[in-house]
């Protein structure tokens, strides 16, 4: 068990391409941290630098307080689970899990004890004699995790471990990983491009983009208080709606946000202070689909009615997604399935601006 500290690490490939541009991150003991971001954001490179599979161009990585920049992977006391499992195809499940221990010259009975225990935790005891190719995707994933657990390392590293599984199994294995972490409590760094995976697994999520960290925070933090437009758009599905807008004076001395000439919505007084400084400026309005829903006459008072022509309707069962266009920008609303919505017709909507986000269009900063 150990904490991991990353100090201004930079990864520059030959030809001057910077994959990671000097990031800082402190991971506490027992913590489960997820690095999430689109492909090419540097999350895997960061993980591989922690593992020692990539050289660090500059900066420092500390595991348990020791600088490990120049320590080869085998001496870092880490374990890693790969996207394609990377099981040794010619070895049985037992041998796969025992390989690292055998190389480290553990006594036979100790190896057996550890493998059996890991197999019990992961529920793969009946598979121990099989070869990897005789296993299903989920079983292989468990073995890959078992290989990490038996070593009892300081840090677990996961590199997109669920990407090769089908959707159903992915959800199941997600729970499984969380359960294992709750059992062994090893410090874990987990890389994924799937924001739902990040949200469900992490103690803290690190959103990366273009080689830098956009935001670090608990899942709820990121969802409700994104720091940048990128985070706001990346976390949450379907993604947040973004509309160019202008903050202006509203009725009764308050503020209002003007999206188009016909759509002008008053900003709730609770938020007015925060947005007062941006009066008269072009901004971007961010609004999650669930905060844009059908308008009821008997709904809360003062909620503005907005009429929009329906473009596409997607019933999902417990809710229905309705897509519109506002000035050419796509907008999605999450409405009650009982609501009548048909393409081409106009639908009355309203927005919960208590949940709105306002961003500067040039920097993407959420204000």
Binding stretches for another protein (CB under 8 A) = 51-53, 55, 69-75, 78-80, 82-84, 86, 88-90, 99-100, 103-104, 147, 151
Q: Which of 306, 311, 310 is nearest to 351 (CA)?
A: 306
Query: Closest distance between another protein and the C-beta of residue 185, in Å?
Result: 20
For the chain, first and last CA: distance in Å? 38
- Residue 88 or 325 having the CB closest to another protein: 88
CB count within 10 Å of CB 144 equals 24
Query: Closest distance between another protein and the C-beta of residue 95, in Å?
Result: 10
Query: Closest distance between another protein and the C-beta of residue 48, in Å?
Result: 8
Q: If DSSP states are collapsed to H, E and C, what string results for 283-334?
A: EEEEECHHHEEECCCCCCCCCCCEEEEEEEEEECCCCEEEEEEECCEEEEEE
- Residue 53 or 196 having the CB closest to another protein: 53
Structure tokens at 140: 């292989």
Q: 283 near 360, Cβ under 8 Å? A: yes
- Residue 104 or 274 having the CB closest to another protein: 104
- Residue 131 or 271 having the CB closest to another protein: 131
Query: Closest distance between another protein and the C-beta of residue 191, in Å?
Result: 13
- Residue 27 or 68 having the CB closest to another protein: 68
Query: Closest distance between another protein and the C-beta of residue 280, in Å?
Result: 53
Structure tokens at 52: 């020692």
Question: According to DSSP H, which parts of the chain are helical?
Answer: 43-51, 93-103, 108-122, 137-150, 167-184, 195-201, 219-224, 229-234, 269-275
Measured distance CA(26)–CA(61) in Å, rounded: 10
Query: Closest distance between another protein and the C-beta of residue 97, in Å?
Result: 10
Measured distance CA(143)–CA(99) in Å, rounded: 12
- Residue 48 or 288 having the CB closest to another protein: 48
- Residue 85 or 234 having the CB closest to another protein: 85
Measured distance CA(316)–CA(143) in Å, rounded: 35
Measured distance CA(202)–CA(219) in Å, rounded: 7
Query: Closest distance between another protein and the C-beta of residue 91, in Å?
Result: 8
């Amino acid at each position: 068990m150990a904490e991991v500290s990353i100090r201004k690490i930079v990864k520059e490939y030959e030809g001057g391409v910077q994959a990671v541009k000097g990031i800082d991150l402190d991971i506490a003991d027992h913590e489960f941290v997820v690095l999430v971001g689109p492909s090419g954001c540097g999350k895997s490179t960061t993980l591989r630098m922690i593992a020692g599979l990539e050289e660090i161009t500059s900066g420092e990585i500390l595991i348990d307080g020791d600088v490990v920049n120049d320590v080869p992977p085998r001496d870092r006391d880490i374990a890693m689970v790969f996207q394609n499992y990377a099981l040794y195809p010619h070895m049985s499940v037992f041998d796969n899990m025992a390989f690292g221990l055998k190389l480290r010259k553990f006594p036979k009975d100790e190896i057996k004890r550890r493998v059996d225990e890991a197999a019990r935790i992961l529920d793969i005891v009946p598979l121990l004699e099989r070869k990897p190719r005789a296993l299903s995707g989920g079983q292989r994933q468990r073995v890959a995790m078992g290989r990490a657990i038996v070593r009892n390392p300081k840090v677990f590293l996961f590199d997109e471990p669920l990407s090769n599984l089908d959707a159903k199994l992915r959800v199941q294995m997600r729970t499984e990983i969380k359960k294992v972490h709750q059992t062994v409590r090893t410090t874990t760094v987990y890389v994924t491009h799937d924001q739902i995976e990040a949200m469900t697994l992490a103690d803290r999520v690190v959103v990366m983009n273009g080689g830098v960290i956009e935001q670090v925070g608990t899942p709820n933090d990121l969802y409700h208080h994104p720091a940048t437009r990128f985070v706001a758009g990346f976390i949450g599905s379907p993604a947040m709606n973004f509309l160019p807008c202008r903050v202006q004076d509203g009725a009764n001395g308050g503020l209002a946000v003007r999206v188009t000439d016909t759509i002008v919505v008053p900003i709730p007084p609770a938020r007015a202070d925060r947005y007062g400084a941006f009066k008269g400026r072009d901004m971007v309005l961010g609004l999650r689909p669930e905060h844009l829903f059908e308008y009821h006459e008997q709904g809360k008072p003062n909620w503005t009615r907005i009429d929009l022509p329906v473009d596409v309707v997607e019933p999902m069962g417990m809710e229905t997604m309705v897509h519109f266009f506002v000035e050419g920008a796509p907008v999605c609303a999450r409405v009650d399935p009982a609501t009548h919505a048909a393409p081409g017709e106009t639908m009355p909507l309203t927005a919960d601006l208590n949940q709105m986000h306002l961003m500067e269009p040039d920097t993407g900063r959420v204000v």
